[in-house]
Amino acid sequence: MRFIVKRDEFLKALLIAGRAVNSKSSAVPVLANLKFLLTDEGLFITGSNYELTIQTKIPYTINDVEVIRNAEEGGTLIDCKIITNMARKIDSEEISLEVIDSTIALISGGKIKYNLNCIKVEEYPDIDLEPNGTGIKLSRLDFSALVSQTAFAASIKEQRPILTAMHLEANEGYLTATTTDSARMAKKSIPVADELNFAANVPAKMMVEIDHLLESSENIDVTFSDKKALFAFDNTVVATRLVAGEYPNTKNIVPRVTNYVLEVNANDLAKAIDRVNILSIDRENVVDLFMDENTVEVSAKSTQVGSASEKIDTFKFEGAPLQISFNSEFVLSAIRALECEDVTFLFVGEMKPFVVKNAEDDSVIQIVTPVRTY
């Protein structure tokens, strides 16, 4: 294999594929390497840790500009960290790579030359990146909305793996993303074709990773099979294993009847929570919210340090006086995800899960479970 490639495009591809290479020691040492395969279509660079696989392609030309030249087809495996650091530090517009006798990669650019040990491409595991299964095309904006408005509520603990997933379900003309860590829930729906019908549990952290890669893409093609999900956009394909198991039934979590309603400016409330939260040291980010027709007050206290309280000037509250305690980070995350000027809280009672929503957008809903403080 031999080629000369534009340095910027090469480094960009290395960084994309390298996201799938686990920096920690892998149970499969060969996966510390990136797979390079040059064909008549371009240079394919693949990284994997088995849970996640990313393959990106550098075509021979981009917008009629030659990117790869002096090419001879072939393949090799090269340590991900080393070649990425090389590409970062080479001070040249182009990088040359040539494989000698399947074991040595000659890499050069500008005045620097490297002789790097490499591995035969056949040593790399066979990873299926074919889009077999149920497919759906999403705009980047829709995909990013699904992720940004729900992924944060998934669990980061591995004790219950199913709760680390984002549950994606399509039926009756909507695709709904749901996440929960059992103390809160986030749900977002977007319209899709009526005939689509599927359900899949995709690792939430993988959805976030893919969203980060979608910067310049307009659309993304998603394919679900029994054990994996495949995401294709621009010149990149991402495959991730699905989380096994049955996702908890969250359909009945949203209360049908509420007894208290608070409408308030999202920014005013978020800043008040953030300020009083400084003193929630003893109670792990727990703050109190008192509401009646004349007052909305956010407070926190610490037996070690003291207490803090702040009143909100502009609001609308309906119902009997109510005091409720909650994890401030959960509520702040919910407010941020709604991305609206005014936020509505719907309460059933002081110890019942409550709703945080944008009154003008029913497509997204957040649920937070209160904290008992007595």
DSSP 8-state assignment for residue 119: B
Select the more confidently predicted residue: 282 or 349: 349
Both tokens assigned to 141: 């904006």
| pLDDT, tens only, 169-225 | 999 999 999 999 999 999 999 999 989 999 999 999 999 999 999 877 899 999 999
Q: Which domains does the chain have, with CATH numbers?
A: 2-123 (3.10.150.10), 134-241 (3.10.150.10), 260-368 (3.10.150.10)
- Looking at residue 24, its pLDDT comes to 61
The whole-number pLDDT of residue 183 equals: 94
Share of the chain above pLDDT 70, in %: 98
Angle at which helix 140-148 crosses helix 204-213, to 10 degrees, equals 140
Question: CB neighbours of 3 closer than 8 A, spacing ≥ 6?
Answer: 38, 43, 68, 69, 70, 71, 72, 96, 97, 98
Q: What is the pLDDT of residues 230-267, one digit of tens each?
A: 999 999 999 999 999 999 999 888 898 999 999 999 99
pLDDT given at position 252: 85
* Cβ–Cβ < 8 Å for 245, 162: yes
DSSP H or E run through 82: helix 80-89
The pLDDT assigned to 11 comes to 98
Report pLDDT for 27. 73
pLDDT of residue 158: 82
Burial class (CB in 10 A: 0-12, 13-18, 19+), 360: exposed
User: How confident is the model at residue 346, as a pLDDT?
Assistant: 97
Mean pLDDT of the region 68-83: 97
Q: Assess whether pLDDT exceeds 60 at residue 25.
A: no
Q: pLDDT, tens digit, for every residue of 27-37?
A: 789 999 999 99
**Long-range contacts of 159-163, Cβ-Cβ distance < 8 Å, separation of 24 or more:** 161/243, 161/244, 161/245, 162/201, 162/243, 162/244, 162/245, 162/246, 162/247, 162/248, 163/248
Which tens digit of pLDDT belongs to each residue from 259-281?
A: 999 999 999 999 999 999 998 77
pLDDT for the residue 217: 87
**pLDDT, mean of residues 70-74:** 97
Helix (H) or strand (E) segment spanning residue 171: strand 165-171
What percent of the chain shows pLDDT beyond 90?
86
* First-to-last C-alpha distance (Å) of the chain: 69
Residue 23's pLDDT is 64
Q: Can you tell me the mean pLDDT for 11-35? A: 88
Full-model pTM? 0.91
Q: Are 201 and 243 in contact (CB under 8 A)?
A: yes
- Is the confidence at residue 140, as pLDDT, over 70? yes
Residue 50 has pLDDT above 90, yes or no: no
| Mean pLDDT of the chain, nearest integer | 94
| Dihedrals phi, psi of 185, to nearest 5 degrees | -145, 145
Give the separation between CA 289 and CA 324, rounded to whole angstroms. Answer: 5
Q: What would the pLDDT profile of 308-350 be if each residue is shown by its tens digit? A: 999 999 999 999 999 999 999 999 999 999 999 999 999 999 8
Residue 157 has pLDDT above 60, yes or no: yes
pLDDT of residue 282: 67
Q: Is the pLDDT of residue 155 over 90?
A: yes
271 burial level (CB within 10 Å; 0-12, 13-18, 19+) = middle
H/E run at residue 10: helix 7-18
pLDDT at 153 over 90: yes
CA distances for 93 relative to 17, 27, 197, 219, 242, angstroms = 21, 36, 48, 30, 40
pLDDT over 60 at 95, yes or no = yes
Query: Which amino acid appears at position 249 of this protein?
Result: N
Q: Give the pLDDT band of residue 293 (cuts 50, 70, 90).
A: very high
CA triplet 287, 183, 314: central angle to 5 degrees?
A: 40
Q: ∠ CA(149), CA(336), CA(180), 5° rounding? A: 45
